[in-house]
A and B are shown apart, each in its own frame.
Chain A
Amino acid sequence: MRVMVIVKASAESEKGVMPSQQELSDMGKYNEELVKAGVMVGGDGLAASHQGKRVRFDGKKRAVIDGPFAETKELIAGYWLWQVKSMDEAVEWLKRAPFDGGTEVEIRRVFEADDFGEEFTPELREQEQRVWAQAAENAKKG
């Protein structure tokens, strides 16, 4: 299964304070371990929210909101994507991460197609396929 490990923002990350040499080297080592174990499939750190945008949907209206955003603890500062055998394995890996100072890091399971179960009925899948076939048809003409 694939999981997303979500690292929340902090006052420092929002201010754009870069991690110390030590923190960087610890994290580098940890990342290397994840790679060597074949667990890491992706991930990145995100720039502070003042470089971000939001789009609010309201009926047909679209309002663009500029960062920074207030609710620091709800913001995401980075993520990993891991391939693991179980949620327990993900927890064990995360426990080894070099975080400190009251940080809370979240692990969420990534949906796979079969998870949609009833919602993703054969008809819906078929519809998806039709949409795609149409797109291919258009591409041929274009």
Chain B
Amino acid sequence: MSETTARQAIEAVWRIESARLVAGLTRVVGDLSQAEDLAQDALVVALEKWPESGVPENPGAWLMATAKHRALDLFRRSKMLDRKHQDLVRRLEAEQVSLEPELHAALDDPIGDDLLRLIFMACHPVLSVEARVALTLRLLGGLTSEEIARAFLVPVSTVQQRVVRAKRTLKESKVPFELPPPSELGERLEAVLGVVYLIFNEGYSATAGEDWVRPTLCEDALRLGRILAALEPEEPEVHGLLALMEIQASRLRARRGPGGEPILLMDQDRGRWDQLLIHRGLAALAKAESLHRPLGPYCLQAAIAACHARAKAPEETDWEAIVALYDALAQIAPSPVVELNRAVAIGMAFGPEAALVLVDELAAEPALKGYHWLPSVRGDLLAKLGRQEEARAEFERAAFLTQSLREREMLLERVRSVSI
């Protein structure tokens, strides 16, 4: 096996195994930072040995066994063998004896509880949102600090610092490696879903710069969402978020033109929508609805996305259903952005006049100050009402406000189109 082939194989194994490895080790040694170090040590050993020996038959179990050996060595050599570590050595030794014959089976985490614990830990509310994102992508997504830095357009050292600081915070705050108690589950799950959706959105609509879409981040978020749906199948919002992401991702191919310019939903070539992802999204939504619990914000947003996905042509869109879903969303998760979207839907369902009244009310909303979609939507409604001059001014304002180069080009194009 050549050096490069082995390296690539090891990288692939690492991507598959690292999350479970770190999760299992965290459970054993009780400390995330130490667990990650041990896992990395095992990886180094693999990089030394596998190019010669080939990848072992059960690479995950091999890495776990190696990491545990390292842990034992480390603790035995440690001069300060305190009681806690003594217990640990005993436990590890007992495990080695009892596990060796059935290593694979015993290392299995069939319910995936360790992985779930790790997800909840990485998205713990004591951490800053940036830290949660970095830790989640690194521990659960198997991304390197370099990859995370590239995706978020920040220096590698920033990502590394975030990760180190996050691990320190978890330790200092004595965050246990446990599933949240039922009383906290809702809130903690919301934090996890928030992190995954943030990663998705970062990929779906880059906030600044030229790239309108960074699809790899979308894929990473989707994968996390799929993992969560398998680990927490009884939580409707988990399926709701997955449905929302699958359906939005189905349009990735269609939302950029030949020159990379953004194409809005109503103008997209629906033949280029990814039917497999739509199918998966609708199935995830159906699963969420089948749990017969009140629909949360992700489920409602997914249901809205599903209305678009089901429409074979823009004219077939069921705007009245979308208005009703936005009504429900505005009730449980009121926000000016939801109101703005609701206004757009009302414009499509009942005409631009009704919508313009709502948008004008929203113009006074401080939270929407500087939000480029507000003038963009207003411009669209004005153009439909034949008030071209005003429409043009709104599109100009929107173009001035957006931070995305691509969106600016699109908005300036609209400025030109109404002037004619």
Partners in one complex: yes
Q: Which residues of A contact B (CB under 8 A)?
A: 32, 35-42, 81, 83, 85-86, 88-89, 91-93, 112-113, 121-122, 125-126, 128-129, 132, 135-136, 139-140
Residues of A near B16 (CB, < 8 A) are: 37, 89, 92-93
Q: Is the C-beta of B366 less than 8 angstroms from some C-beta in chain A? A: no
Partner of A129, one of B9, B225, B226, B269: B269
Q: How far is it, in angstroms, between the C-alpha of A32 and the C-alpha of B230 when the chains are bound?
A: 9
Q: How far is the CA of A38 from the CA of B280 in the complex (A)?
A: 12
- Bound CA span A3–B257, Å: 25
Which residue in chain B gives the minimum CB-CB distance to A113? B253
**Chain B residues with Cβ under 8 A from A36's Cβ?**
112, 227, 230-231
Q: Are B223 and A38 closer than 8 Å at their CB atoms?
A: yes
- In whole Å, how far is A22's beta carbon from the nearest beta carbon of chain B? 16
How many whole Å from B255's CB to the nearest CB in chain A?
11
The closest CB in chain A to the CB of B147 belongs to: A85
Chain B residues contacting A86 (CB-CB under 8 Å) are: 8, 11-12
What 5 A-B pairs come out closest when comparing CB atoms?
Answer: A38-B226, A122-B258, A38-B223, A88-B12, A89-B12
Q: Once the chains bind, are A35 and B271 in contact (CB under 8 Å)?
A: no
Cross-interface CB contact of B9 among A40, A88, A113, A132, cutoff 8 Å: A88
Cβ–Cβ contact A122 & B12, under 8 A: no
Contact A132–B222 (Cβ < 8 Å): no
B150 at interface, CB cutoff 8 A: no
Q: Which residue of A lies closest to B17 (CB)?
A: A92
The 22 listed contacts between A and B (C-beta, < 8 Å) are A35-B226, A35-B230, A36-B112, A37-B223, A38-B222, A38-B225, A38-B227, A39-B223, A42-B276, A85-B15, A86-B12, A89-B15, A92-B12, A92-B59, A93-B16, A125-B258, A128-B271, A128-B272, A132-B269, A132-B270, A136-B314, A139-B312
| Residue from the list B224, B258, B271, B280 in contact with A132, Cβ < 8 A | B271
Q: Contacts A36-B227, A92-B9 given: A83-B222 contact, CB under 8 Å?
A: yes
Given A126-B258, A128-B269: A140 and B15 interface contact (C-beta under 8 Å) = no
CB contacts (< 8 Å) of A92 on chain B: these are: 9, 12-13, 16, 55, 59
Which residues of chain B are near A139, meaning CB under 8 Å? 312-313, 315-316
| Chain B residue total in the interface (Cβ 8 A) | 37
Name the contact of B315 in the complex, choosing from A40, A122, A129, A136 (C-beta under 8 A).
A136
Task: Give the shortest distance, in Å, between B117 (CB) and chain A (any CB).
Answer: 15
- Indicate if B235 sits at the interface (CB-CB under 8 A): no
In angstroms, how far is the closest chain B Cβ from the Cβ of A87?
Answer: 9
Contacts of A113 in B (CB 8 A): 253, 272
| Closest beta carbon of chain A to B201's beta carbon, Å | 18
Q: Say whether chain B's binding surface is mostly helix, strand, loop, or mixed.
A: helix
Chain B nearest CB from A138 CB (Å) reads 9
A139 to B270 CA separation, bound complex (whole angstroms): 13
Interface presence of B219 (CB below 8 A)? yes
Contact flags B211-229 to A (C-beta < 8 A → 1, else 0): 0000000010011111100
Query: A38-B224, A132-B269, A132-B271 are known contacts. Are A88 and B276 too (CB-CB below 8 A)?
Result: no
B259 in contact (CB, < 8 A): yes
Shortest beta-carbon distance from A90 to chain B in Å = 8
Asked whether A83 lies within 8 Å of B219 as measured between CB atoms, the reply is yes
CB nearest to A36 among chain B residues: B230
B263's closest neighbor in chain A, by CB? Answer: A129
* Nearest neighbor of A130 in chain B, beta-carbon distance: B269
Residue among A42, A88, A113 having the largest count of chain B Cβ atoms under 10 Å = A88
A132 partner residues in chain B, CB cutoff 8 A: 269-271
CB distance from A142 to the nearest CB of B (A): 10
B259 and A122 form a contact (CB under 8 A)? yes
Q: Which residues of A contact B279 (CB under 8 A)?
A: 42
Q: Which chain B positions have C-beta within 8 A of A35?
A: 226, 230
Q: Chain A residues near B314 (CB, 8 Å)?
A: 136
Contacts of A122 in B (CB 8 A): 258-259
Q: Which B39-68 residues sit within 8 Å CB-CB of chain A?
A: 55, 59
Contacts of B15 in A (CB 8 A): 85, 89
Q: Distance in Å from the Cβ of A88 to the closest Cβ of chain B?
A: 4
The answer to whether A91 and B12 touch (CB under 8 A), given A35-B230, A38-B227, A136-B315, is yes
B142 to A: closest C-beta gap in Å:
8
Taking CB atoms, residues of chain B closer than 8 Å to A140 are: 313, 315
Q: How far is the CA of A140 from the CA of B315 in the complex (A)?
A: 7
What does the 1/0 interface line of B287-319 toward A look like (CB < 8 Å)? 000000000000000000000000011111000
